[in-house]
Amino acid sequence: MRIGELARRASTTPRALRYYESRGLLTTRRDASGYRSYDEADLTILRQIRTLQDCGFELEDIRPFVDCLRAGHPTGDACPSSAEVYRRKLSELDELIGQLHGVRGWIAAQLAGVESAAPELPRCEFGPPLSASDCDRQPSNTPIPGEDDDEH
């Protein structure tokens, strides 16, 4: 198949395929006319690349998975080098989750402090919340246009 068909079947662009080729993740053959030519194995590799990218893996992290597929394994994660990438990624995610829990706790504490210190202000049903200075103003005697009209 040609580059356009492979891109369509993998839900990506020919430009992305050329980029993967330049990075050594996707190999290409040329047909007699000089066009890039791909097969089903290339589609499998491309789907592996896209899936791992969607999960946040960098291209260099993906290389062991591609090498595993090229070695003839049915899946890209069947090799020890792929498992090592998974272990490293899990460790990174665990660290990020810990940091996010800390940030969440801090934000929740800040919000609890704000909510316990701030009095409840009246709200206009169709407008933004009133500020404290809005509540201190005296009512205006200026008529609202259309309020006294008899044409309601």
Are 28 and 35 contacting, i.e. CB atoms less than 8 angstroms apart? Answer: no
**20-77 residue pLDDT tens:** 999 999 998 999 999 999 999 999 999 999 999 999 999 999 999 999 999 999 999 9
- The tens digit of pLDDT for each residue in 104-118 reads 999 999 999 888 876
Rounded average pLDDT over 76-93:
96
Does the domain spanning 3-117 belong to CATH 1.20.1420.30? no
The string of DSSP letters for the chain reads --HHHHHHHTTS-HHHHHHHHHTTSS--EE-TTS-EE--HHHHHHHHHHHHHHHTT--HHHHHHHHHHHHTT-SSTTSSHHHHHHHHHHHHHHHHHHHHHHHHHHHHHHHHHHHHHHSPPPPB-TTSPBPPHHHHHSPPP-PPPTTSS-S--
Model confidence at 145, in pLDDT bands (50, 70, 90)?
Answer: low
Task: Report domain extents, the chain.
Answer: 3-117
Q: Using the predicted structure, report yes or no on whether residue 124 has a pLDDT greater than 80.
A: no
Cβ–Cβ < 8 Å for 52, 65: yes
Supply 53's token pair: 């990218």
> Kindly report the CA angle at 13 between 12 and 15, in degrees rounded to 5?
135
Structure tokens at 118: 């701030």
Predicted model pTM: 0.68
Q: How many other CB atoms are there within 10 angstroms of residue 147's CB atom?
A: 7
Give me the pLDDT at residue 152, please. 47
Tell me how far CA of residue 76 lies from CA of 33, 49, 50, 66, 93, in angstroms: 32, 9, 12, 6, 21
What are the tokens at 25? 């993740």
User: What per-residue confidence (pLDDT) applies to 17?
Assistant: 96
Q: Looking at the predicted structure, is the pLDDT value of residue 143 above 70?
A: no
Give me the mean pLDDT over the 126-139 stretch: 54
**Mean pLDDT, rounded, of the chain:** 85
CB 18 within 8 A of CB 7: no
Q: Which of 14-18, 31-35, 46-50, 136-140 has the lowest mean pLDDT?
A: 136-140
